[in-house]
Amino acid sequence: MSDVIIRVEKGVGRITLNRPQALHALTTEMCAAIDAALIAWQDDPQVRAVLVDHADGTRGFCAGGDIRKVAQSGRGDGVEAREFFAVEYTMNVRIKRFPKPYIAIIDGITMGGGVGLSVHGSHRIATERTVFAMPETGIGLFPDVGGGWFLPRLEGELGTWLALTGAQLRGSDVVAAGIATHFVPMDRIEALKGDMLAHGADVVTRYAETVSPAAYARHVDMINRCFGNDTMTAISIALNGGDDWAREQAKILTKRSPQSLAVSLRQLREGRKLDSFEDVMRMEYRIASRITSTRDFSEGVRAVIEDKDQSPDWVAELTEGAIEVFFQSLGTMDLQFPDISS
């Protein structure tokens, strides 16, 4: 059985992730297949919308990309890692520019690459089982797949907090944050899919429920005050001078890769200023091409995914110049996107 099942059903392009043994983590081949389907469907008058979900009976929508394979490549010549990011990021742009309704059912774990597969579409439907996170700084990576676009455009500094700490949002809080567009209880999802196949994407509003204030709402002022600073040192000082919750966030940051934190903060600040989604993705490709060959990324994957001892030995000494390198042009290797209609 294919890792991603692609078909057209009643005028709806269906994409179903089917790699349950890896929580549907994306591979280069899966991203290429999805991108090819979107190319075929975007101008096909017989396809009026796209619906993305995951195989029944599995607990995650998509846990991210195939990080183990990316790390193996990064320890060598990095060619396969760069290929993966080029294909994945092109798919992300295709989703962002897709001219028809693009509905993702983000039920269960939705992290990293799973966020990129959903958040740029027109409809993102969360359930009570949804667990959103961008946990990349914990493995020496950074919140890519367009994180530099959507995270700094969330209210206040919510995106900065999520990106740096890897904090999780659950259920309706994903809608409250502006990451999902609708909340639909699990017991109504199958009915929603059937109605959508019969009548189109507009039926989503019939199934969506109003969401309550988010669990993080009481911390918003602290988030904005502390994570609004432009250096990791200033953020840490502000957090340590805050309340108990803020000091807990400061403690979390001490366990993240210092390199990843500095790169991610710069990525978000730069991404906030860029007007083009493609420019953000080009920036992220520059970062990804370099960071996946660093010691911190290799060590983070070893500690969290391979050996699972949860004790990475990060490189602590950083210079401003060392961070700047990640953002420099790759010259002829810079990622170029096809002409994708907006």
3-state SS of 23-55 is: CCCECHHHHHHHHHHHHHHHCCCCCCEEEEEEC
Q: Name the residue among 21, 79, 100 with its Cα closest to residue 54.
A: 21
Report how far residue 156's alpha carbon sits from residue 131's, in angstroms, rounded to the nearest whole number: 21
Taking residue 218's Cβ as centre, other Cβ atoms within 10 Å add up to 10
C-alpha Rg value of the chain to the nearest Å: 19
Q: What is the arithmetic mean of pLDDT over 51-71?
A: 91
Give pLDDT tens digits for 321-334: 899 999 999 999 99
Question: What is residue 341's predicted lDDT score, i.e. its pLDDT?
Answer: 53
Q: How confident is the model at residue 340 (pLDDT cuts 50, 70, 90)?
A: low
- Are the C-beta atoms of 191 and 124 separated by less than 8 Å? no
Does residue 144 carry a pLDDT above 70? yes
The pLDDT mean for the chain works out to 96
Question: Tens digit of pLDDT for each residue in 66-113?
Answer: 999 999 999 999 999 999 999 999 999 999 999 999 999 999 999 999
The mean pLDDT value for 157-182 works out to 98
pLDDT for 47 beyond 60: yes
Percent of the chain with pLDDT over 90: 94
Q: What is the pLDDT of residues 184-219, one digit of tens each?
A: 999 999 999 999 999 999 999 999 999 999 999 999
Statement: residue 342 has pLDDT above 90:
no
The token pair at 315 is: 């490189």
DSSP string, 231-252: SHHHHHHHHHTS-HHHHHHHHH
Query: Annotated catalytic sites, by residue?
Result: 65, 113, 136, 144
Give me 272's structure tokens.
């906030």
The two beta strands, 169-170 and 131-133, are: antiparallel
Q: Enumerate residues 6+ apart whose C-beta is below 8 A from 246.
A: 219, 222, 226, 238, 239, 240
Q: How many helices (H) and strands (E) does the chain have?
A: 16, 10
Residue 57: predicted pLDDT: 74
pLDDT at 136: 98
The domain 4-332 having CATH identifier 3.90.226.10: the answer here is yes
CA distance 186 to 130: 10
Instruction: Band the pLDDT of 288: cuts 50, 70, 90.
Output: very high
Query: What is the mean predicted confidence (pLDDT) over 256-268?
Result: 98
Show me where the domains of the chain are located.
4-332
